[in-house]
Amino acid sequence: GESVGLHLPTLSVQEGDNSIINCAYSNSASDYFIWYKQESGKGPQFIIDIRSNMDKRQGQRVTVLLNKTVKHLSLQIAATQPGDSAVYFCAENISGGGSYIPTFGRGTSLIVHP
Amino acid sequence: NAGVMQNPRHLVRRRGQEARLRCSPMKGHSHVYWYRQLPEEGLKFMVYLQKENIIDESGMPKERFSAEFPKEGPSILRIQQVVRGDSAAYFCASSPGSRRAGANVLTFGAGSRLTVL
């Protein structure tokens, strides 16, 4: 299943399925993007990042895809586990010189059923 | 090798009182960011500081809110004369700085949850 971001929608999946979380960013000048995971009662934690000169980056069980044409970002989680249950935020950023302040979307709540 | 430390974790205040939230950045980090999070909402930027300097406070309400990051000691977010609408989780994050590797990645604390009665 998949979900479009920025509203705090909920995505429910079965353990072992692949999850796709989507995010639409707003600033065409943004050139650096990060996905964070926030578990209940905790602060956000870095998952994976991607710069605008790439369209795909893979980590351990996670892949981020970037489509600059439509200003869209997605996070794919392979073989989703109950421990992946959390709220996932994408953040956009403009790097290079001066101050840059990551701007966060509202997030998507991922619920993994055992 | 402690991460970003925030305290208190939970704070209860009555309307009109003052709230002070503290944040100690990761060792070696010189930049601090404060974000506010309402239930079921994302993180809203408030202020970005370096030691003894406010770099960007465009997200701070014009009244009652202030932030500092002194030469010695933690960064402090201060909310005067709190109202019920100030109830939220306040997250602090730190980064190494704009000219160093990994500067764009923020390391977050566990947050301070303010409840205004």
Residues A49, B106: C-beta atoms closer than 8 Å: no
Contact status of B25 with chain A (Cβ, < 8 Å): no
Amino acid of residue B14: R
Q: Return the bridge partners of B76, or none.
A: B22, B68
**Distance of alpha carbon B89 from its chain centroid, rounded?**
10
Query: pLDDT tens digits, residue range B56-111?
Result: 999 999 999 999 999 999 999 999 999 999 999 999 999 887 555 555 789 999 99
Highest mean pLDDT among A95-104, B7-16, B37-46: B7-16
Question: Of A41, A101, A106, which has the smallest distance from its Cβ to B45's Cβ?
Answer: A101
Is residue A107 within 8 A of residue A87, CB to CB? The reply is yes
Give the whole-angstrom CA distance, residue B28 versus residue A9. 37
Q: What are phi and psi of A17, to 5 degrees?
A: -75, 165
- The pLDDT tens digits for A25-84 are 888 888 889 999 999 989 999 999 999 999 999 999 999 999 999 999 999 999 999 999
**Contacts A41 to B, Cβ<8 Å:** 110
Min Cα distance A23 → chain B (Å) is: 13
Chain centroid offset of residue A14 CA:
19
Residue A101 near residue B56, CB atoms below 8 Å: yes
Rounded to 5°, the CA angle B58-B45-A87 comes to: 165
Q: How far is A16 from chain B (nearest CA, A)?
A: 26
- Rounded CA-CA distance A111/A83 in Å is 9
- At A42 the three-state DSSP class reads coil
Which residues on chain A are in Cβ contact (under 8 Å) with B10?
none
Q: What's the CA gap between A36 and A34, in Å, rounded?
A: 6
User: Which residue of chain A is at minimal alpha-carbon distance from B111?
Assistant: A43
The encoded tokens of residue A11 equal: 């995505």
The nearest CA of chain A is from the CA of B82 a distance in Å of 23
